[in-house]
Amino acid sequence: MAKPKLIPFDAADYLESEEDMALYLSAILEDGSPEEIAAALGDIARARGMSKVAADAGLSRESLYRGLSGERVPSADTLLRVIRALGLKLTVQPH
């Protein structure tokens, strides 16, 4: 029997609107690990255009790819700069 051809899933392909991006990040923030949050921001940045997000955040494209790969936890400064560059904001509410 032939092996099925699998196509890798990329969340960035489905983040088409501001609302999609905000809902996606909100869902990850609910109970995601710091690495998952960084990876979700990376998905959103790729959907927007990594070069533009990097420029808007004042970071190099390469450091943005590394920091938002999901393999490490970027600094709070990097996370906040990226969130602002994406035109998003964090809010806090009682659990």
Task: Give the chain's mean pLDDT.
Answer: 92
Q: What is the pLDDT of residue 89?
A: 87
Domain residue spans in the chain? 16-85
How far apart are alpha carbons 38 and 5 in whole angstroms? 29
Buried b (16+ CB within 10 A) or exposed e, 29-45: eeeeeeeebbbbbbbbb
Tokens matching residue 81? 């700069």
Contact between residue 18 and residue 87 where contact means Cβ atoms under 8 Å apart: yes
The stretches in the chain having pLDDT less than 70 are: none
Q: What is the pLDDT of residue 44?
A: 97
Q: What is the pLDDT of residue 1?
A: 75
